Chains A and B, each alone.
Chain A
Amino acid sequence: MLSFEPYGNPTYFALLGVALLPLMIGLLYGKRSRLYETLISIFFLVLTFGGPKWTQGVALIIYILYEVALTWGYAVYRRHKNSGPFFYVMVILAILPLTIVKVTPAVENGQSSLIGFLGVSYLTFRAVQTMMETRDGTLKDYNIMTFLQFMLFFPTISSGPIDRYRRFEADYRSVPDREKYLGMVQKGIRYIFVGFLYKFILAYYFGTMLMPKLQLMAMNSRGGFLDLSWPVIGYMYCYSADLFFDFAGYSLFAVGTSYIMGIETPMNFNQPWRSPNIKDFWNRWHITLSFWFRDFIYMRLVFWFMKHKVFKKPTTTANVTYIINMLVMGFWHGVTWYYITYGLFHGVALVVNDTWLRYKKKHRASVPHNRFTQWFAIFLTANMVCFSFLIFSGLLDKLWFQ
């Protein structure tokens, strides 16, 4: 039985090309066949979750039924009533499977949970978002079939980008005109080819060829201050490069494939290494995730804190929320000390950044702002981010505790 990592090898892309061809011809002539789209979605889902990984496939099916029941149930309920506690219970239930998957390795000695499957996080984000917008009243006509298509849209199922229900639905219900669609195909093909460069050349070089050597060197150079050494610095940059090119490459594949299917899935990266500060970085790095956190955790918490007047000053509210927001992101990556420290680090960085920007605003005259400070800001931000990725990488855990 054939089984693939999504976008993992040339065969996958060849199959993708063949499967998308009829769909593309249809869209060029203004037709969208729901049936065909559903069929190829099922085909690629079976390729990803079938064969030796069939247990994941079963977990996916049960999970989807569960989330459909919750979101549909809530949508029906919301038409008549709007109780806060009931909404909270529903959200907690929706997050429950993801929480179990993330906590299991920490309490079971690294064993992964039976109910887990590739992409469980990204599906949960989509389901929770659907539920929250239903409560807000911005999402009124919840439709089970559209929701299923939205959740199981195969190009983005394993690692995002995280689309929004209403945006997806608008694309899915319409057919772009020929001129626009040709532009999308052109973009899609370009994205996929840039993705090849990123994932199969650059990420391969940094991640597969260079990184193991640097890790070995770092492990062999232990014994100094905090077991740190030059190879650790090298590893830090190498890991950061690998992380970026691997994930940005994958995202380009996902977005490119979506475009060819006539769906404008949002972009995940926008030149993150040129950010002059950490806040800007999060507007450019894993954008759909950080915007999801912004809209559904940060903003909601800020409103809640303000409504209940928990803190006197608005800056305190913002700072506390930054920390909570990033800590949650840290926990989401996994319950290990280094993911949580990574989250805390970014939370603190955002607080420091805000404080500095306020200070700068107040003292416009005395703080210089020129091309040099601009470059320095970019340099500082990039290095700080790389340092945070060193924490994230878990190398320190290996250096110190293994």
Chain B
Amino acid sequence: MAKRLLRIFGPLILAAVLVFAVLAMPVKLGFSHVSKSHERQAAVSLSPNVLRGKHIKEEALKDGFVPFFGSSEWSRFDPMHPSVLAQKYHRDYRPFLLGARGSQSLTQYFVMQNIQGQLRNKKAVFVISPQWFVKSGTRKDAFGFYYSQLQTAEWLTHFRSDAIDQYAAQRLLQMPAAQSDHFIYAALQRVASGKKLTDYQRFYLQTRKNMLTQEDQFFSGIDLPSQNLKKVNQQAQKLPTHYSYSALDALGGRLGKAATNDNRFGISNKFYHQGLKKELKHGKLKDFQKNLSYTKSPEFADFQLCLDQFARLNTNVLFIIPPVNAKWQKYTGLSASMLKQFDEKIHYQLQSQGFNNIVDLSDKGNVPYFMTDTIHLGWRGWLAVDQRVNPFLTKQQEQPKYSINDKFYSKKWQQLAPSDLKQYENEAK
């Protein structure tokens, strides 16, 4: 009987032991090299697998790619898109686009957790979308879509249990995605209440992290989407061989005009016909953003997580604040004074803590062909971004001096009306 049992279960036990051994191994295997073409593909893929993973990002960032944090604007590949310009004109940097539709500050904070080595004392670009700062902050399903157990496990193995960690844990606990692993959930509860992890939890997290890291190395490069790289190559062909601002500005105008000629908003025809036209016909969109506000939101504290992290890693960051298409804004009734107030509040949060590299484009919403649709940068908008991004990344920059203030995690700051900013500032002094 023993012989027969061994024949039945021997292979099974052997297989289980081997799989577990390979996955739980704390060392990297030799065949984890990421090729240059894979890096190029991943950098523009906007694939959620890449965002949730670690290995490809890490390798690419070691290789001259610079993290560009943001969201849906990255998918607007026209000839002036940062990835296209960097490739065409052989810049010393290549953008690694991090984020896609629905990714906001909280997602980006966790994305940063397993590329810390590649952020420390380096540079980064960060696009702040005013649209993130709605009353309820990041959508739970969108956060869940980009949620990565690997990043959470990695964060939990190096957290320091102060304001940043407590806030991040509390915020994560509000998300259904945090419940995807019971042990991680229990660990988060301890962090949120300021307690240390138990020995068992630390052991579990370390093992889990190793397993997820190996999985990421084995599988995250499979089935990488390639259509965006194709788009980048096609768009690059439309650009003149030698860089000249005036030529590009003129080209941007020409391309923009041709692409937005069948509607009164200066919205790209393609976007306009994808459902927008139909909804406009019903008249539902007239004044529909009248009561929308970006001035009070939990997103301000989530954003503080990113700032805090950058400061800890001494990352020099260029922030970009894009405008809203002015014609569209007028039509939907979105308040211009509210947008201005948002701008003031975010400026205060940035500058009072020493983040002074800000490309504020919020007043450019009526420049022709600046936006490709309602809220996303296009032709001339991208060009304006490039005017600042290129020197920032290619020239020596002054070392930033950050002074982080935990008050930006408070409910008070999240809900502060920008009209009370002056008073708030005085109280703080």
The residues of A with any CB-CB pair to B shorter than 8 Å are 2, 28, 178, 182, 185-186, 189, 193, 209
Contact of B8 among A2, A178, A186, A209 (CB under 8 A): A186
Contact A28 B182, CB 8 Å, known A189-B8, A189-B9? no
B223 within 8 A of A: yes
Question: Which residues of the partner chain B approach A209 to less than 8 Å between Cβ atoms?
Answer: 223
In the A-B complex, the 6 residue pairs with the closest CB atoms? A186-B8, A182-B4, A189-B8, A185-B8, A189-B12, A209-B223
Answer yes or no: B1 CB below 8 A from chain A CBs: yes
Q: Which of B1-60 contact A (CB under 8 A)?
A: 1, 4-5, 7-9, 12
Asked whether B5 lies within 8 Å of A182 as measured between CB atoms, the reply is yes
Residue of B nearest to A192 (CB): B12
Q: Nearest A residue to B8 by beta-carbon distance? A: A186
Rounded to whole angstroms, the CA-CA distance of A2 and B185 in the bound complex is 12
Which chain B residue shows the least CB distance to A14?
Answer: B16
Using Cβ atoms and an 8 Å threshold, which residues of chain A touch B12? 189, 193
Among candidates B1, B7, B9, residue contacting A28 with C-beta atoms closer than 8 Å? B1
Contacts of A189 in B (CB 8 A): 8-9, 12
Residues of B within 8 A of A182 (CB): 1, 4-5, 8
Interface pair B9/A178, CB less than 8 Å apart: no
A293 to chain B, nearest CB (A): 36
Could you give 11 example pairs across A and B, Cβ below 8 Å? A2-B182, A28-B1, A182-B1, A182-B4, A182-B5, A185-B8, A186-B4, A186-B8, A189-B12, A193-B12, A209-B223
Q: Which residues in A have their C-beta under 8 angstroms from that of B9?
A: 189
Q: Which residues of B contact A193 (CB under 8 A)?
A: 12
Which residues 109-126 in B have Cβ within 8 Å of A in the complex?
A: none
Chain A contacts for B1, CB-based, 8 A: 28, 178, 182
- Chain A hits for B182, CB < 8 A: 2
Return chain B residues, CB-CB under 8 Å to A185: 8
Q: Which bracket fits the contact residues of B?
A: under 10
* Chain B residues positioned under 8 Å from A2 (CB to CB): 182
A186 to B7, CA, bound (A): 9
Cα A2 to Cα B7 in complex, Å, equals 34
**Which residues of B lie under 8 Å from residue A186 when comparing CB positions?**
4, 7-8
Q: Which residue of B lies closest to A187 (CB)?
A: B8
Chain A residues near B5: list those with CB within 8 A.
Answer: 182
Whole-angstrom distance between the Cβ of B101 and the nearest chain A Cβ: 15
A9 to B223, CA, bound (A): 22
Which residues of B from 166 to 211 have beta carbons under 8 Å from A?
Answer: 182
Q: Which residue of B lies closest to A11 (CB)?
A: B182
| 6 additional contacts (CB under 8 A) given A182-B1, A186-B8, A189-B12 | A2-B182, A178-B1, A182-B4, A182-B8, A189-B9, A193-B12
Question: Which residues of A have CB within 8 Å of B4?
Answer: 182, 186
Which chain B residue has the least Cβ–Cβ distance from A186? B8
In the bound complex, CA of A178 to CA of B223 (Å): 48
A209 to B49, CA, bound (A): 12
Q: How far is the CB of B273 from chain A (nearest CB, A)?
A: 13
| CB of B279, distance to nearest CB on chain A (Å) | 16
B295-325 interface mask toward A, CB cutoff 8 Å, 1 = contact, 0 = none?
0000000000000000000000000000000
CB distance from B228 to the nearest CB of A (A): 15
Distance of A111 from chain B, by nearest CB (Å):
20
Give the residue among A28, A178, A182 with the most B Cβ atoms within 10 A: A182
Residues 364 to 417 of chain B near chain A (Cβ within 8 Å): none
**Chain A residue with minimal CB distance to B19?**
A10
Q: How far is the CB of A80 from chain B (nearest CB, A)?
A: 50
The docked-state distance in angstroms from the alpha carbon of A189 to that of B15 is: 13
* Bound-complex Cα distance A28 to B8 (A): 14
Closest to A188 in B: B8
A178 vs B8: C-alpha distance when bound (angstroms): 14
CA distance A185 to B4 in the complex (A): 10
CA distance A193 to B8 in the complex (A): 12
Distance between Cα atoms of A215 and B12 in the complex (Å) = 38
A193 to B12, CA, bound (A): 9
Chain A residues, CB < 8 A from B223: 209
Q: How far is the CA of A392 from the CA of B223 in the complex (A)?
A: 29
The docked-state distance in angstroms from the alpha carbon of A196 to that of B182 is 24
**Residues of chain B from 217 to 243 with CB closer than 8 A to chain A in the complex:** 223
CA separation between A51 and B224, bound complex, in Å?
A: 37
Please give the distance in Å from A53's CB to the nearest CB on chain B. Answer: 14
Separation of A185 and B1 alpha carbons in the complex (Å): 12
A28, B7: Cα distance in complex, Å: 16
Whole-angstrom distance from the CB of B344 to the nearest CB of chain A? 42
B230 to chain A, nearest CB (A): 16
Q: Mark B50-79, 1 if CB is under 8 A from A, else 0.
A: 000000000000000000000000000000
* Bound CA span A209–B219, Å: 13
What is the CA–CA distance of A2 and B180 in the complex, to the nearest angstrom?
A: 10
**For the complex, what is the distance from the CA of A182 to the CA of B7, rounded to whole Å?**
11
Quote the shortest CB–CB distance from B86 to chain A (angstroms).
29
Which residues in B have their C-beta under 8 angstroms from that of A28? 1
Cα-based distance from A152 to B8 in the complex (angstroms): 28
Q: How far is the CA of A189 from the CA of B12 in the complex (A)?
A: 9
CA distance A185 to B9 in the complex (A): 10
- A221–B1 Cα distance when bound, in Å, is 61
Per-residue 0/1 for B112-156: is the Cβ within 8 Å of any A Cβ (1 yes, 0 no)? 000000000000000000000000000000000000000000000
A119, chain B: closest CB distance, angstroms:
24
Q: For the complex, what is the distance from the CA of A326 to the CA of B182, rounded to whole Å?
A: 44
User: Which A residues are in CB contact (< 8 Å) with B8?
Assistant: 182, 185-186, 189
Q: How far is the CA of A387 from the CA of B40 in the complex (A)?
A: 41
For the complex, give the distance between the alpha carbons of A189 and B6 in Å: 13
Q: Which residue of A lies closest to B5 (CB)?
A: A182
Tell me the bound Cα distance from A193 to B16 in angstroms. Answer: 12
> Complex Cα distance A193/B14, Å?
14
**How far does the Cβ of B219 sit from chain A's closest Cβ, in whole Å?**
12
Fill in one digit per residue for B258-286: 1 if any A CB lies within 8 Å of its CB, else 0: 00000000000000000000000000000
B12 to A, closest residue via Cβ: A189
A375 to B182, CA, bound (A): 52
Q: How far is the CA of A344 from the CA of B395 in the complex (A)?
A: 72
Tell me the bound Cα distance from A186 to B8 in angstroms.
6
**What's the least CB distance linking B204 to chain A, in Å?**
13
Question: For A178, what are the chain B residues with a Cβ–Cβ distance below 8 Å?
Answer: 1
Q: Which residue of A lies closest to B7 (CB)?
A: A186
Q: How far is the CB of B177 from chain A (nearest CB, A)?
A: 14
Q: How far is the CA of A186 from the CA of B12 in the complex (A)?
A: 11
Q: Across the two chains, which residue of chain B brings its CB closest to A28?
A: B1
* Cα(A185)–Cα(B223), bound, Å: 37
| Nearest chain B residue, comparing its CB with the CB of A209 | B223
A28 and B1 alpha carbons, distance in the complex (Å): 9
